[in-house]
């Protein structure tokens, strides 16, 4: 693995690609604060029950600690995450950069995912609905949420996003996908600023990091803590509540076994990394975020949260900055990469 840039002084802000939009180097992902929701077959798609009042307090605490980038999606909690985020930001909306996503179709009343729609017409309807739920007049980063959408149709959606920019409804756009070829389709648009992709110390994404470097895109890193494995709180065999997606992991969710918690092999890898990631007084989660900042100057990790305590711990990583070159090399040695 080649590390694109290593800096040993904390850098607390980054730019979203070619947009010129400045954000905190750490964003917060708002999937969990959407609460429980599911697909038509009853598969849980949220992270279990959530306290909305605590979510609001956590978002506001993150703001106080310097986090200015919040990522959500219209489908998280079937609209509920957007509503909670909009309420929490309130009069401080101008102080933050808000990202949301579209492409999934859902029923707000039953909190059920009902399908997908990749038409340009639906993109406009979805944007209008997100603006209403977020109680704002624009979205800073609008992201296609269909990771495997047809590239030709995606080109049409890229063009409709350019229309949204001209109309002042969004400032920039991105695709949430782990496929560099698909990300490159959106990157041809003038106002494409980023690609949202999975990346963490256990699941590196060298092709996507290279794409971001080559095309000047921000890499918005989802699952930076490996769905909670890199917090150290998920032991092998530890049961998860019924409404948590990890209790019945879909095929794309690695590291968990249906009904029996975390995969012991993944837990062992986390344990092996613990000493290097907790160096310099970091928590395991902070060290995992520090790995991403050292991995690429384009990386903007977006860990999830559900409490003030989680918000404070994650935000605390900003002051400690990226891992050093030696620490990065040790992590790679341990992982055998």
Please state the length of the chain. 337
Smallest Cα–Cα separation from 105: which of 122, 93, 82, 90?
A: 122
pTM listed for this prediction: 0.94
- CA distances to 236, 283, 304 from 321, rounded to whole Å, are 30, 13, 19
Smallest Cα–Cα separation from 146: which of 101, 80, 208, 97?
A: 101
Please give the average per-residue pLDDT across 100-105, as a whole number.
Answer: 98
13-232+297-321 in CATH: which number?
Answer: 3.20.20.100
Residue 180 to residue 201: CA distance in whole angstroms: 19
Q: Tell me: the pLDDT tens digits for 208-219?
A: 999 999 999 999
| Number of CB atoms found within 10 A of residue 49's CB | 12
Q: Tell me: the pLDDT tens digits for 235-285?
A: 555 667 778 888 888 888 898 876 667 888 999 999 999 999 999 999 999
Question: Which of 215-229, 253-267, 294-308 has the weakest average pLDDT?
Answer: 253-267
**Mean per-residue pLDDT over the chain, rounded:** 93
- pLDDT value at residue 259: 64
Beta bridge partners of 176: 196
Smallest Cα–Cα separation from 141: which of 72, 95, 203, 189?
A: 72
Q: Tell me: the pLDDT tens digits for 124-173?
A: 999 999 999 999 999 999 999 999 999 999 999 999 999 999 999 999 99
Contact present, 220 and 226 (Cβ < 8 Å)? no
Residue 299 to residue 26: CA distance in whole angstroms: 9
- CA distances to 8, 34, 155, 195 from 184, rounded to whole Å, are 31, 30, 10, 9
Beta strands in 48-128 (DSSP E): 69-71, 97-102, 104-107, 112-116
- pLDDT value at residue 7: 39
pLDDT at 232 over 90: no
């Amino acid at each position: 693995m080649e590390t694109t840039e290593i800096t040993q002084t904390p850098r607390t802000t980054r730019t979203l690609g070619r947009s010129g939009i400045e954000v905190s180097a750490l964003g917060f992902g708002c999937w969990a604060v959407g609460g429980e929701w599911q697909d038509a077959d009853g598969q849980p798609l949220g992270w279990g029950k959530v306290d909305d009042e605590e979510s609001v307090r956590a978002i506001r605490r993150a703001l106080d600690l310097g986090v200015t980038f919040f990522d959500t999606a219209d489908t998280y909690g079937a609209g509920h995450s957007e509503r909670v985020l909009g309420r929490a930001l309130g009069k401080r909306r101008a102080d933050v950069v808000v990202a949301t996503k579209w492409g999934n179709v859902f029923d707000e009343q039953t909190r059920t995912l009902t399908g997908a729609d990749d038409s340009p017409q639906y993109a406009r309807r979805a944007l209008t609905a997100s603006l209403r739920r977020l109680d704002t007049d624009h979205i800073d980063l609008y992201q296609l949420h269909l990771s495997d959408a047809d590239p030709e149709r995606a080109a049409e959606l890229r063009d409709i996003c350019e229309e949204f920019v001209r109309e002042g409804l969004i400032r920039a756009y991105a695709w949430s996908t782990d496929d560099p070829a698909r990300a490159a389709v959106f990157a041809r648009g003038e106002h494409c600023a980023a690609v949202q992709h999975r990346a963490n110390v256990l699941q590196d994404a060298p092709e996507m990091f290279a794409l971001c470097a080559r095309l000047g895109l921000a890499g918005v890193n989802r699952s930076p803590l490996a769905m909670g494995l890199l917090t150290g709180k998920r032991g092998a065999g530890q049961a998860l509540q019924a409404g948590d997606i990890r209790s019945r992991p879909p095929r794309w969710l690695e590291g968990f076994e249906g009904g029996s918690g975390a995969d012991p092999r993944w837990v062992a890898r986390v344990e092996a990394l613990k000493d290097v990631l907790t160096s310099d007084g970091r928590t395991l989660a902070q060290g995992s975020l520090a790995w991403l900042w050292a991995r690429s100057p384009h990386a903007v990790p977006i860990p999830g949260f559900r409490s003030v305590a989680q918000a404070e711990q994650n935000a605390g990583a900003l002051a400690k900055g990226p891992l050093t070159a030696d620490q990065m090399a040790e992590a790679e040695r341990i992982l055998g990469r």
